[in-house]
Structure 1
Amino acid sequence: MQYVDFEMGGAPSSLSVKEHAPLSTPAGKVKVSVVSFGINRADTLQRQGKYPAPKGESSILGLEVAGTVVEVTDGVTEFAVGDKVFGLVAGGGYATEVIAEPSHLMPIPDDMAFFEAAGLAEVFLTAYQCLRTISHVKPAERVLIHGGASGVGLAALQLCRHWGVHSAVTASSESKLLQCKENGAELLINYHTQTFDEEIRNAWPSGVQMVLDMVGGDYLNKNLNVLSQDGRIVYLAMLAGRYADNLDMALLLSKRATITGTTLRNRSDAYKAELVQDFTSTCLPAFSTKDLNVNVDTHYNIADITKTHTRLEANDTMGKLVVSW
């Protein structure tokens, strides 16, 4: 098989395609012939040496794939050889074949291309986890989404629209805000020219029930400021730095706020399986009807793999970057 190798701590230019012996398929798993794979920030962090693969998992980059099942071991009943699937892997996605847990895979919706499916799982399952599994958002509630033009941000906006949840969004440019609006955002905030907590309080005086934040840094107290009583803040990443400003405990207590940090990669197989099952039954049909869509920024050929990490690290994306072999 072929796979994308990298130099630990190296630049995007260290990514290169190399050969590897075919993978053996352990009992209870399936082998997928990968057509396309998605690019995620976890991949760039792993290349930089800041986010190692979980113990026992492949050290090859890549957390989401789309392709065709080519081998099924005894006892696997969810899929058969020839099925077109997409889903999560804990590593190894940047390769022409990958070993997958069948309960972490989903059938590719009708009329969806492999490259689109490759950009679906990580962002939509992450957004679904934050909005529904952790925060239990309900119709008519209000949500603030930071980094709205990211893959997760756009997926979260679509889910809010799908469920009848009102959404506000922050982004860095008018073009990104326009894309957010097209994906369901109702209140648009350019964080370069506007102060998001002031804009939220002016538009929605009673605040928001939930904040989805992948920025971190000095946003913490401002998030609390716009939060309604008993509201929830969910942190996904720390693009503005790992340390927050001094927490206003009085604000936290008066709001009876809940602050949660979450990741998906290091969750248990059982947790991921339940998440995939819930998403498959409640949301996957909406991709066939086009009520939900995958936002693909650019579809690259494997020859341009270095461009994907360069762009992601420069925050030069609106939606998903995906790569096909």
Structure 2
Amino acid sequence: MKAIVIDGAGGPEVLKIKEVPDPKAGDGEVVVKIVAAALNRADVMQRQGNYPPPAGASLIPGLECSGTIDSVGHGVTQWKVGDEVCVLLGGGGYAEKVNVPAVQVFPVPKGVSLRDAAAIPEVACTVWSTIFMTCHLKQGESFLIHGGGSGIGTFAIQIAKAKGAKVLVTAGSDDKLKKCLELGADVGINYKKEDFVERVKAETGGKGVDVILDIMGAPYLPRNIKALAIDGRLFHIATQGGTIGEIDLNAVIYRRLTVTGAGLRARETDKKGEIVQEVLKNVWPEIEAGKVKVIIDDVLPLANASKAHEVLEASTHFGKILLTV
């Protein structure tokens, strides 16, 4: 099959399309014939040599895709050849086929095209497992999303609103903020023009927000702590701005704050299966009801993976970028 391989750590130009062996369905696995794969920041980090795949995962980039079941392994009873699915991966999405544990496979939501469904699994599992399963965001609470125009951000806005939260977002352009507000965000903050802490305090009557989803890491850490309400929860899913930061422990202690983080990719298959089931139960109905829409910014052919990475790194996109096979 054809697949995108990383020909040495570096810029987008190291992504090369090559012939590689077809995957086989092991016990408890299926092989998916891929229609589309979605890009994530983790793909860029892997390409740069900063985020190696976990042990046993494919070296081919790509953490989510959609397609049809091509074959099933021993013990798989919930899927059959020809089923249309979208898939949470540990790697391997930038290819014509991929093998994956059957517990990480979703049916395509009603009302979503097979192609566009590629943009759902990674963001849905990331947002639901962090903000709802871990931080327990509840109806009536306030929620700050950094990077509101990203794939994670556009999804988090919609699912948080669907579950009754007040949503604040940061972004680096007024155009992106306008689109975030159109998706349902209550407050848009241009971090290039104003201090998000002051704006958060103003919008919450001085209280601060209950939950923050952060992608920046070190440079935002002190300000995120200041922006949290009593019993607030800060969750890190990326460190785009740096990994080492200072924290005011007195604020954490006296205001009973929780500061945590997690990656999804390296989790055990059983845990991913649990998250998939929670997403099917709590998120899929919102998608099928039209409350959460798939936001696609650009679609390019698999052979143009380098160009797709250039678009992603430029941060001019809004929503997800897809590669079609």
Q: Is TM (by shorter chain) over 0.5? A: yes
1:245-274 per-position Cα deviation (integer Å, ceiling 9, x unaligned): x31122121211110011100111111101
Per-residue deviation, 1:283: 1.4
Conserved? CA contact 1:115–1:323, under 8 Å? no
1:172 corresponds to:
172
1:263 corresponds to:
263
Per-residue deviation, 1:131: 1.2
Q: In 2, Cα distance between the equivalents of 1:20 and 1:320?
A: 27
Supply the RMSD in Å over aligned alpha carbons.
Answer: 1.1
Conserved? CA contact 1:217–1:241, under 8 Å? yes
1:216 corresponds to:
217
Tell me the amino acid that sits aligned with residue 173 of structure 2.
S
Tell me the amino acid that sits aligned with residue 120 of structure 2.
L
Per-residue deviation, 1:22: 2.0
1:162 corresponds to:
162
Query: Tell me, which stretches of 5 or more residues in structure 2 are unaligned?
Result: none
2:310 corresponds to:
310
Compared CA separation, residues 232 and 82, structure 1 to 2 (3 A): same
Tell me the amino acid that sits aligned with residue 161 of structure 2.
R
Conserved? CA contact 2:169–2:189, under 8 Å? yes
Conserved? CA contact 1:171–1:190, under 8 Å? yes
Q: Secondary structure at the match of 1:178?
A: helix
Q: Secondary structure at the match of 2:277?
A: helix
Q: In 1, Cα distance between the equivalents of 2:86 and 2:158?
A: 20
Conserved? CA contact 2:26–2:74, under 8 Å? no
Per-residue deviation, 1:56: 1.3
Instruction: Provide the TM-score with structure 1 as the length reference.
Output: 0.97
Conserved? CA contact 1:208–1:231, under 8 Å? yes
Q: Secondary structure at the match of 1:114?
A: coil
1:160-190 per-position Cα deviation (integer Å, ceiling 9, x unaligned): 1100100111110011101111222101110
Conserved? CA contact 1:33–1:97, under 8 Å? yes
Per-residue deviation, 1:193: 0.5
1:89 corresponds to:
89
1:20 corresponds to:
20
Query: Tell me, which stretches of 5 or more residues in structure 1 are unaligned?
Result: none
Per-residue deviation, 1:150: 0.8
1:230 corresponds to:
231
Conserved? CA contact 1:197–1:223, under 8 Å? yes
Please tell me whether residue 142 in structure 1 is matched to residue 146 in structure 2: no
Conserved? CA contact 2:124–2:283, under 8 Å? no
Tell me the amino acid that sits aligned with residue 153 of structure 2.
G
Per-residue deviation, 1:321: 0.5
Q: Secondary structure at the match of 1:36?
A: strand
1:240 corresponds to:
241
Per-residue deviation, 1:197: 0.5
Q: In 2, Cα distance between the equivalents of 1:69 and 1:53?
A: 24
2:253 corresponds to:
253
Q: In 2, Cα distance between the equivalents of 1:303 and 1:4?
A: 8
Please tell me whether residue 126 in structure 1 is matched to residue 126 in structure 2: yes
1:320 corresponds to:
320
Per-residue deviation, 1:230: 1.1
Conserved? CA contact 2:94–2:302, under 8 Å? no
Q: Secondary structure at the match of 1:133?
A: helix
